[in-house]
């Protein structure tokens, strides 16, 4: 879902796009498509011909439908294979899909809360599931590859991602399970723009940034919801109306990212 939005956005921005597409899947119009798996070095090498930057989004997107060893091994092997192979071939710019799950507050059965609000990238992870662990390792992989090869890259911690095809996910999301992520969400079109920026703005080294829309997805005001669902968690500042309690300042300062889309009307 997010990868498709990124492809469409890059094409609209006038970029030449190659996709590494799974066999049997119809590729996007207007791209050079290479068929293969992101864990396969040969397929990745074929896809990298003529490429100067890589957006990596290939992953099993949750720990619910596959066995834990499959989720962890698939995601971490795909990320390592794509980034290391690309860097060894001379690519020096990366953007990867990380997740708020890298902090451990999405699928962790213990449902830990953050140390404080607003949530930011400096808070320690409290991991309890294979998907979140895979995303934490993916961020370390990006840092290692950038360090080894003198490359630059951004791991984008994506929250609940919303497109017209999954609006109901927002409507039925459990408020108690999402309090740890500050009820953050993002329109896939804003996510696509964040990837474009992460691939093109001047930067050095590896970075992890939180992304979020400006407002929370549930009805109600932020302060009241925090009073109800996270009464013991300190707040480093107050929040106006439905302001998201997630600090996206690093994405703004590093990438110039500003979310455009608001919660869709029912």
Token duo for residue 65: 């439908």
Tens of pLDDT along 64-82? 999 999 999 999 999 999 9
pLDDT at 170: 77
Q: What are the structural domains, with CATH classification, of the chain?
A: 2-255 (3.40.50.720)
Q: Closest Cα partner for 77 from 90, 96, 100, 58?
A: 58
pLDDT at 266: 57
Tens of pLDDT along 144-190? 999 999 999 999 999 999 988 788 877 777 888 899 999 999 999 99
Average pLDDT per 10 consecutive residues for the chain, totaling 266 residues:
96 98 95 98 98 97 96 98 98 98 94 96 96 98 98 97 83 86 96 98 98 95 97 97 98 98 77
Whether this model's pTM surpasses 0.75: yes
pLDDT at 176: 86
């Amino acid at each position: 879902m997010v990868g498709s939005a990124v492809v469409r956005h890059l094409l609209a921005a006038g970029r030449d796009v190659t996709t590494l597409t799974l066999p049997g899947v119809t590729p996007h119009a207007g791209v050079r498509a290479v068929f293969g798996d992101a864990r396969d070095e040969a397929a990745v090498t074929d896809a990298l011909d003529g490429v100067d930057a890589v957006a990596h989004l290939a992953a099993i997107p949750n720990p619910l439908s596959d066995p834990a060893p499959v989720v962890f091994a698939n995601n971490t092997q795909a990320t390592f294979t794509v980034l290391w192979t690309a860097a060894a071939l001379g690519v020096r710019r990366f953007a990867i899909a990380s997740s708020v799950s890298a902090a451990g507050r999405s699928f962790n059965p213990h449902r830990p809360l953050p140390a404080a609000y607003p949530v930011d990238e400096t808070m320690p992870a409290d991991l309890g599931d294979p998907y979140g662990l895979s995303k934490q390792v993916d961020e370390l992989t990006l840092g290692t590859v950038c360090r080894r090869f003198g490359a630059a890259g951004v791991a984008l911690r994506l929250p609940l991602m919303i497109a017209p095809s999954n609006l109901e996910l927002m409507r039925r999301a459990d408020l108690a399970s999402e309090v740890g992520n500050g009820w953050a969400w993002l329109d896939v079109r804003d996510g696509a723009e964040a990837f474009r920026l992460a691939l093109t703005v001047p930067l050095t080294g590896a970075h992890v940034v939180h992304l979020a829309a400006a407002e929370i997805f549930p009805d109600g005001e932020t302060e009241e919801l925090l009073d109800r669902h996270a009464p013991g968690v300190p707040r480093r500042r107050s929040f106006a109306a439905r302001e998201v309690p997630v600090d996206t300042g690093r994405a703004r300062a590093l990438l110039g990212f500003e979310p455009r889309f608001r919660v869709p009307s029912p």
